[in-house]
Amino acid sequence: MANRPLHFLWLLDCSSSMSINGKIGELNFAIREAIPEMQQAAQDNPSAALMVRAISFATGATWHIDEATPVEQFSWTDLTTYGGTDMGAAFRLAAKALQSPPMPDRALRPVIALVSDGQPMDDWRAGLREIDATPWGKRAMRVAVAIGEDADKDMLKEFLGNPELEPLQARNPRQLVAAIRWASTVAVKAASTPKTDGNKQPPAASTLSFDKQADDEDVW
């Protein structure tokens, strides 16, 4: 198991609604804040070579970071908003990346982290089926973050692929930072532990909580 690659893939909603109340700016901030913790998580798990990529989706989907980048070299370029919510297009793009090749035959199971504030406008189920049809997509640890109350949480639960799991809810900037931190560190640690069942949420997910002040600051 020494130094096997662990691919972490962000799927990030950049639809126009993400510009409301500065949500896109807070998402950019949250990811930048999480980078040092991702790097520390990688150092704490020497058996995993953490590689990061990102897909953005709005009207269509595109690679925001198209090369699998070692987390030690990873930096963030801010996302901007435009258009609708073509989540299915993001799933189809991710499915191509989860095939072998380009994925290696031997690797730790990947982590797919989906972040959205709305409801998909295209055929997201068809895209999700393409992910599920790939060996790595089926094995991947999945995390979903719902930004605000309008996010389609039923759809996000279906993405998770386990009826016992719930998306992380971010109702304000502080909760978003906490959710992104969890997705990018706890999930990575769990995915790099061979005995952890990839179909189960890591233990910290069930105890993820936010302080009272964060709960009172419901700006989304």
pLDDT of 86-119, one tens digit each?
999 999 999 999 999 999 989 999 999 999 999 9
Residue 63, Cβ neighbours under 10 Å: how many?
13
201-219 as b/e, with b when 16 or more CB fall inside 10 Å? Answer: bbeebeebebeeebeeeee
Fold type of domain 4-216: Rossmann fold (3.40.50)
- Per-residue model confidence as pLDDT tens digits over 140-181: 999 999 999 999 999 999 999 998 899 999 999 999 999 999
Confidence band (pLDDT; 50, 70, 90) for 204? Answer: very low
